[in-house]
Amino acid sequence: MKPLTSLCVYCGSRKGKKSVYAKTAMALADEMVDRDIRLVYGGGGIGLMGTIAQRVADGGGEVVGIIPDFLQKIEKPFNGGTKKIVTDSMHERKQIMFDMSDAFLALPGGIGTLDEMFEMMTWRQLGQHKKPLALLNVNGYWDPFLYLLDHIVDHDFAGPDIRNNLVVESDIKCLLDRLGGARAPQKERQMSRAAAPSK
C-alpha cells in the first residue's frame, strides 16, 4: 500500500451536539501531525472543519484548504498557517481535493460530508480510483449509514465491495495504521512540535 502522506478529511460545517466530535477532530489532527500527514480539506473555518484545520496548523502540520469562491463568505476560510486554494466551482474543488489526497476519511458531518464521501465511493465503484476510503466511527455516529450500505448490498443494488472497500474504525491510531500512515520517529515529532508557532 502507498504510504499515507496526504489525507482528505471530510467533516461537518457544524460541531454537532456532543463535545466528543470536536475532541475527536482534535485527536485526529494531533495524530496526523505526529505522522507527518498533510490535511486536505474544504477550507472552512467553522464547525469540525475549522477545528481540525486549526489544530493541525497549531501543531506545525501542513494544511491545504480548497474552497469555492462563493463559499468564502459563508464558511469563513481558515487562514492561519495554511495554504488556501480558491476554485470557481464545487466540481473543481472536489477534483483538486481528490488529486491532492492519498485517501479519504469522513468524520461526523451532515449531507455535505455525505455528498463528498459518496462521490469518492461511487468513483471507486466505477473503477476511477483505488484510493482508500474510511469512516471514523466515533460514538457510533456512522452506524445508520453502515446499516444503509448493508441494506443496499442485501437488496442487490450494489456488490459487497461498496462495504468491503470502506475502512471503518472508532480508534484513530488503528484507522491511520490501516490507511498506511507511518508514525514519524519520536525525534522528528519533537522537532515539528518545537517549530510550531506557540498558541
In 3D space, the residue among 72, 135, 126 whose CA is nearest the CA of residue 103 turns out to be 135
Residues 42-101 that bind ligand AMP (CB under 6 A): 42, 44, 71, 75, 90
Among 14, 173, 183, 189, binds ligand AMP (CB under 6 A): 14
Q: How far is the CB of 75 from ligand AMP (least distance, A)?
A: 5
Output the CA torsion sign for 56, 60, 61, 67: positive
The C-alpha cell of 71 is what?
A: 463559499
Distances (CA, A) of 108 to 35, 70, 130, 142: 22, 24, 23, 7
For residue 58, list its beta bridge partners.
Answer: none
How many Å is the maximal CA-CA distance in the chain?
A: 54
Instruction: In angstroms, give the least distance from the CB of 78 to ligand AMP.
Output: 12
Give 3 or 110: the residue with its C-beta nearer to ligand AMP: 110
- Residues in 97-126 that interact with ligand AMP by CB under 6 A: 109-113, 115-116
CB of 89 to ligand AMP, least distance (A): 10
Selected binder of ligand AMP within 4, 8, 9, 13 (CB under 6 A):
13
Shortest CA distance to 133 belongs to which of 1, 6, 8? 8
Residues that bind ligand AMP (CB under 6 A): 12-14, 42, 44, 71, 75, 90, 109-113, 115-116
